[in-house]
Structure formats: C-alpha cells, structure tokens
Structure 1
Amino acid sequence: ILLIDVIEHFEKEEGMDFLQLALKKGRNLIISTPKKPTPQGSVYDNPFEEHKSVWHLRDFQQLGKVITLPHRHAWICYLGDQHPRVLKKVRRYSLPLRFQYLLQKVFRK
C-alpha cells in the first residue's frame, strides 16, 4: 500500500489506527510524509486537505521494523513483512536514484 502525502492529514491517534489497519490488510506499506511541520488548511474548500499532524521516525517504529530512504524534506519509510528482503535490496542498490528499480525487483513475483 502506498501512502504518499496522506498520513499528515490524520490526527495522530487516528493515523496510527489507520496505519495498523493498512499493515494488516496490505502487509507492506510505503509511507511518505513531511519531516517538518508544513501548515496547510483546507484547499478549494476541502477540509480533508488540512495537515493535522507531524510524524517522526519513532512514530513509525512503534509499528515494527522500519526502513527509511534518504530524503531531505520527507520521511520515506517501508514497513511490512518483507522487511529482511527489502533491507537486503536497499543495502545493495544506491538510493534514491534507483528507488524505482528497487521497488520493481522487491515486489516482482
């Protein structure tokens, strides 16, 4: 499951519940969220666009083993039952330039 710029739109407790459900249903998550507070209100009168929380690595670590990919402005995290396999691939390939290649190799059947 890809959660790209999604989780910051939840209150923290609700977001944690959502992540636990997503892990249960999808078993593998890739999450991207800003590292620093990025205030954002409703956009085009859509209140769901509001940023309600700021996330830190320790938040994701509460859910299990986390693999992070380097990025200056965002947490890019992998959580899931393929942790050993993904970690092996991450160590093998340089990131972030080969991120797309990595994902194709890891999730190929």
Structure 2
Amino acid sequence: MVLDVGCGVGATLKDICCPVKVGVDAYRPYLEKSASDDSFIKINFTAERLNEIFLANSFDGVTLIDVIEHFEKDVALDVLRQVEEIAAKMVIVFTPRGFFHQVEVDHYGLGGESYQRHRSGWEVEDFLELGYHVVVFSKYHDQRNLAFSQVYGNNAEPIDALLAWKDCSPGDGF
C-alpha cells in the first residue's frame, strides 16, 4: 500500500504500480478533477494532521513528490515526522534543491493558487541530518517547467532537484 501526500490531481499515483494506492490532498478541486480516475483512493485532508487519520505503519511507503517545499520549514519537518511513523517501510521525497521561488499560479486552472506557493527550500544536509539518503538531480528544473520560466525567465540557469528516501524498517526494504 502506498500513500501519496499532496497528490494533487493524481499524476504521480498513475505511474505507481501497487494494488492499493491512496492520495491525500488539502485542496478538494484537485481531487475532484481526478474523480473519474478510480486507480486510487482520494482523501481530502491536510498533511499537517495525517497522524489523526492514519495509524503507525499503516502504509508500506509514503511519497511526497514536489510537496514539502509548499510548507514552512518547521511545518514540513513535522509532516516528515508524521509520515515516517505512518510508513512501515519507506518515505520518498522529491523537492527542488534550495529555495525555488514559485509564485501563486495554479497551472490546473482550479483556483488553488495559495497551495502552489513555495514556502521553504531544502538542501542535501537537511535530509542527511534526518537520516535520509539523497541523490541530486543536477539541473532538473528548467524552462520545460512553466513555473520555472515564469519566475526565472527563459535564459536562467536550471535548478537542481533532490530525491531523498528513508528506510523506516531497516533490513526490510521497500
């Protein structure tokens, strides 16, 4: 079982091969847009309170793909602590490296502008200190990303991204 936190319209979950997939998002219109996609269970709830609805070790893995940068750092750290408890095996995080200034633009056109603003930046050391393994995707965010182009322009240098994962049950694997 996989839980995708901040699943939006479910784009990440579509690519995950797993018998039970659950997506949580705080902005209901994103979940409604994916209503016809019955490949995952949709839950409208805030990431800051996940431990109120999910028990410890209730999912094999938890993903946060392009999510934690949307929270203030202290809130994001608390969300990470919660998902580490919810995950029986692994937590996977993908985020821009450093602070990627993203304006409040909802590219889905569903009115979720305030949810799109980036509020924190992340470095390799942030994850290493929390016991995560990290891989840097060099120059990952570039002009192909509409949000990148809008903020940085068409001639800006690309920005790295981080893939971080933490084994929540050592020796068991994912």
TM-score (norm 1): 0.68
Deviating above 3 A after TM superposition, structure 1's stretches of 4 or more consecutive aligned residues are: 82-85
1:20 and 1:63 in contact (8 A); partners too: no
Structure 2 match to 1:89 = none
Higher normalized helix content (fraction of residues): 1
RMSD: 1.9
Q: Determine which structure has more spread, i.e. the larger CA radius of gyration.
A: 2
CA contact (8 A) 2:64 2:94 kept: yes
Task: State the aligned residue count.
Answer: 86
Letter in 2 for 1:80: D
Q: Higher mean Cα deviation, 43-52 or 17-26?
A: 43-52
2:137 aligns to what SS in structure 1? coil
Are the equivalent residues in 2 in contact too, given 1:22–1:29 (CA < 8 A)? Answer: yes
Deviation at residue 84 of structure 1 after TM alignment? 5.3
Between 40-49 and 3-12, the greater mean CA deviation after superposition: 40-49
1:49 equivalent in structure 2: 116
Aligned to 1:32: 94
The C-alpha deviation readout for 1:46-93, integer Å capped at 9, x for no partner, is: 2010000001122223322x22224111110111224556xxxxxxxx
Aligned residues of 1:33 and 1:75 also touching (Cα < 8 A): yes
Instruction: Choose between structure 1 and 2: higher strand proportion.
Output: 2
Q: Provide the identity percentage.
A: 30
Superposition map of 1:22-101 within 5 A: 22-27=83-88, 28-44=90-106, 45=111, 46-64=113-131, 66-72=132-138, 73-82=160-169
Q: Which has the higher contact order (CA 8 A, sep 6+)?
A: 1
For residues 5-51 of structure 1, the C-alpha deviation after alignment (integer angstroms, 9 at most, x for no partner) is 10100000000000000001114111111113211121135201000
